[in-house]
Structure 1
Amino acid sequence: MTKPNIRYSPEPVIEPKEGCDWADTMVLNPAMVKDKETDTIHMLFRATGPWPQKNLKGLSDPYPIFLGYAKSDDNGQSWEADFSRPALAPALEYDMDKIYVIDDEEKKVPNYANGCIEDPRIFEVEGELYLTTACRMFPPGAYWEGDKRKDNRPDWAEDKFNPFGTAATNNDTETVLFKLDLDKLKEKDYDKAFQYICTLTDGNVTDNRDVFLFPNKMKIDGKMQYVMLHRPDEPNVFKCGKGVHKPSIFIAAAENIKDFITEKATHKLFAVGIFDWEEERVGASWQPISLGNGEWLISYHGKQLPDYGYTQSFMIIKEQENDFPKIIHRCSERLMYAQQEWELPDKFPCPCIFTTGGVIIGEDLIMSYGAADQKIGIAWTSFEKLVVFVRKFDENGIKICE
């Protein structure tokens, strides 16, 4: 059984930019979307650098996380990155009364993207383009040196009765949904490119990330509903995840996008780690790709330390009549992992290839990834051959044919 050939950029396509205060330390975990009118690929990437002017308590300089913009006109071989300013930046407010934003309904709501805007995913839902980001209320210190989430947390956040709850007290991740105007992004009119919609996960429940929606609604429990993948850090807090304590993939349904953080949403434990390279966690990587006939290709990642780090594989799921989709093929082999010297650990001790974007151009699936949590690479493979290979495994990862 021949694995699909995956070709990797021989060197980073985007690296930290010396002298750029918001991107001089790390650039990673890029999302991508293809222009519908051309073959231009647009990218939003995660970036950080020290921000001493926002050092609140003198414990450590904060490293707020920003999103930068880049584009490629040659199928991802080379990229033009805009380091003149962030495309999307956290507000970095410490005053309780200033941590608010105006949403798409002109309502003043808590700004959970105040401290960090991490790990973007771009996807389409019913013809509209959206962006999800893993956000924190306050910027951490140099997080690769340990847990520094609370180094720049204001004193009022220590009170559990603060207006934002444990999302502020613990500075855990909440996933925030933005509407993305691609035309404005292309014009670098960044102030008008993003519209804050809502949170999709609740930091008062558990840290939660790796979140995005399917492009279309599905009939579940007799209703046409939006369907979302997410990855809670503590699955046990959900009724359907009782007894599971390792970060795992969940699937959720709601009639309204803003209902996903309410009791109106239905959640189901979708996939837990079952292979050695998934020992610590599994999470979905980027937006599902339709294969037709109600089937979807899902890219996902596993983590295991110290040997494997973050690696990537794929599964195929199929829609069910009046129910959540189910896994029908799950590749038990890790298909993407750090191999080149520039992809191997530096600041972090963890080998890491972490894909957060995938687009199809011609016969190729083009994937963007963060390497060693510090640089950005691109990988190419035959989409058809990849799908054929994943179909050689059953839902439990057992080979069913050669």
Structure 2
Amino acid sequence: MKPHFRYLNKPALEPVPGCDWAEKMVLNPAIIQDPDTNDIHMLFRATGPWPHKRREGCHDPYPIFLGYAKSADAGETWTADFSRPALAPALGYEEHELYITDIQGNVVRNYANGCVEDPRIFYMEGELYVTVACRPFPPGPYWLPVETRFEYVPDWIFEGNDSDPFIRTARSNDTVTVLYKLNLDELRQGNYEHAFQYVGPVTEGSVSDNRDVFFFPEKMKIAGKMQYLMLHRPMNVLPFDGGEKVGKPSIYVAAAESIEDFASPKATHRLLASPVFDWEENRVGASWPPISLGNQEWLISYHAKKDAQFGYTQSFMIIREQEDDFPAVIHRCSDRLMYAERDWEMPKDYPTPCLFTTGGVVMGEDLIMSYGAADQKIGISWVNFADLLAYIRKFDEKGRIT
């Protein structure tokens, strides 16, 4: 029997009229349980028109921000701070405005200048981090049937130095995933300016648009060395291991000896999972950070898209660590377990039905998941964790019932 998923009967959070940074969309939330209480903390993606930075002859820019919310009742209700963003892009335009001081005190290129999108929160070596998909410059209203991605990319970028990876990334204005260290104490007290420390990019924007990125909490032994491991989903898979064969956006595992090496050729990449089932035809990507199951096994939530009409599906797999090698899939559920069904999850401005999980925490007997709905709102779901795992284990690594 399939596990039973329970859903809120209305959005947990949605756009706020009159809130300039969250008037259009409030979606794709990351969650983490407070280590000292039963509170759940949330960072969510939000956007609205930003006429303060509008250029003549262009649409209003739509920079993307992170907002903060909290639940004290296991996700049933949420209190959000819409007074200001928790993390905002810098929105610089001139060359000298595109730098930031990183966690080491170095002045570096700021890949989070235009947008900070789709957060994921996780622990790594006992410290709390968040990844965000960033664009060098904000787009215009990107849901319109016109190209607005380049409206706020300045002309000097196209005349810049080809050897500069930031310049090459900015020319396409694709997403680069950036890592921040997150101070939960400062976040929950509303001291947002002290809650985030810029670590740096962990994907190469000049190689591929890349998102759905997060790390395993501890290093693993790969090729005789203890290395960090990161899940990611490049849009262009051709530069990566097995990319020519799969040809579609897929889930990869990357390994590197230092965090700085991930956004460089020093990282090694291994294909973990590619589209196999009918409902995965367009792409697959990991959804939120892995949960340890013990015995060197990890639960991976993942999403798939078939097409614009069918929309996004959420399912699950279990992977196992391998001796001196990358982890491998041992169970992969071939059933569509979560997908848009409620009226408020159905398309409005976007044509695609969307239920897109971006956070999961285990509290008591339940796995609590946060998700974006219709690319504009936030939903919450619960499922008995033991029932979910038992069901996933019915399938082998290729999705066949055993």
The whole-number CA distance in structure 1 between the counterparts of 2:15 and 2:232 is 29
The answer for the alignment partner of 2:227 in structure 1 is: 225
The 3-state SS of whatever aligns with 1:145 is: coil
- Call closer, same or farther: CA 1:28–1:315 in 2, change over 3 Å: same
2:218 to 216, 219, 225: 216
The answer for the alignment partner of 1:20 in structure 2 is: 19
The answer for the alignment partner of 1:104 in structure 2 is: 103
The whole-number CA distance in structure 2 between the counterparts of 1:384 and 1:279 is 29
CA contact (8 A) 2:66 2:116 kept: yes
1:261 to 250, 263, 272: 263
The answer for the alignment partner of 1:152 in structure 2 is: 152
Q: What does the per-residue CA deviation read over 1:70-118, in whole Å, with 9 as the maximum and x for residues that have no partner?
A: 0000000000000000000000010111100000110011000000000
The whole-number CA distance in structure 1 between the counterparts of 2:210 and 2:308 is 23
The answer for the alignment partner of 1:10 in structure 2 is: 9
CA contact (8 A) 1:57 1:152 kept: no
The 3-state SS of whatever aligns with 1:167 is: helix
The whole-number CA distance in structure 1 between the counterparts of 2:270 and 2:243 is 8
Q: How far has the Cα of 1:159 moved from its partner?
A: 2.5
The answer for the alignment partner of 1:33 in structure 2 is: 32
The 3-state SS of whatever aligns with 2:279 is: helix
The whole-number CA distance in structure 1 between the counterparts of 2:241 and 2:229 is 18
The 3-state SS of whatever aligns with 1:370 is: strand
CA contact (8 A) 2:241 2:271 kept: no
Amino acid of the residue matched to residue 140 of structure 1? P
Over the aligned positions, Cα root-mean-square deviation in angstroms equals: 1.0
- Structure 2 gap ranges (5+): none
Which segment drifts farther, 287-296 or 157-166?
157-166
Amino acid of the residue matched to residue 111 of structure 2? Y
The answer for the alignment partner of 1:207 in structure 2 is: 209
The answer for the alignment partner of 1:56 in structure 2 is: 55
1:332 to 326, 331, 334: 334
Question: Where has structure 1 moved over 6 Å in runs of 4 or more?
Answer: none
Amino acid of the residue matched to residue 170 of structure 1? S
The whole-number CA distance in structure 2 between the counterparts of 1:106 and 1:184 is 20
The whole-number CA distance in structure 1 between the counterparts of 2:107 and 2:7 is 44
CA contact (8 A) 1:368 1:376 kept: yes
The whole-number CA distance in structure 2 between the counterparts of 1:262 and 1:368 is 32
CA contact (8 A) 1:312 1:337 kept: yes
The 3-state SS of whatever aligns with 2:339 is: coil
- Call closer, same or farther: CA 1:247–1:160 in 2, change over 3 Å: farther
Q: Alignment length, in residue pairs?
A: 399
The 3-state SS of whatever aligns with 1:165 is: helix
The whole-number CA distance in structure 1 between the counterparts of 2:168 and 2:397 is 37
- Structure 1 gap ranges (5+): none
Amino acid of the residue matched to residue 335 of structure 2? E
1:311-326 aligned at under 5 Å gives the runs: 311-326=313-328
The whole-number CA distance in structure 1 between the counterparts of 2:101 and 2:56 is 29
The 3-state SS of whatever aligns with 1:30 is: strand
The answer for the alignment partner of 2:297 in structure 1 is: 295
The 3-state SS of whatever aligns with 1:237 is: coil
Q: What does the per-residue CA deviation read over 1:267-326, in whole Å, with 9 as the maximum and x for residues that have no partner?
A: 111111001111110000001000000000000000111342111000000000000000
Q: How far has the Cα of 1:392 moved from its partner?
A: 0.5
Identity of aligned residues (%): 62
1:84-103 aligned at under 5 Å gives the runs: 84-103=83-102
Q: What does the per-residue CA deviation read over 1:229-269, in whole Å, with 9 as the maximum and x for residues that have no partner?
A: 00000100224423433111110111111111122211111
The answer for the alignment partner of 1:126 in structure 2 is: 125
Amino acid of the residue matched to residue 221 of structure 1? A
Do residues 283 (structure 1) and 285 (structure 2) align? yes
Amino acid of the residue matched to residue 320 of structure 2? K
The whole-number CA distance in structure 2 between the counterparts of 1:360 and 1:38 is 14
What TM-score do the two structures reach when normalised by structure 1? Answer: 0.98
Amino acid of the residue matched to residue 321 of structure 1? E
The 3-state SS of whatever aligns with 1:386 is: helix
CA contact (8 A) 1:159 1:169 kept: no
The whole-number CA distance in structure 2 between the counterparts of 1:10 and 1:253 is 41
The whole-number CA distance in structure 2 between the counterparts of 1:348 and 1:274 is 26
What TM-score do the two structures reach when normalised by structure 2? Answer: 0.98
Do residues 372 (structure 1) and 371 (structure 2) align? no
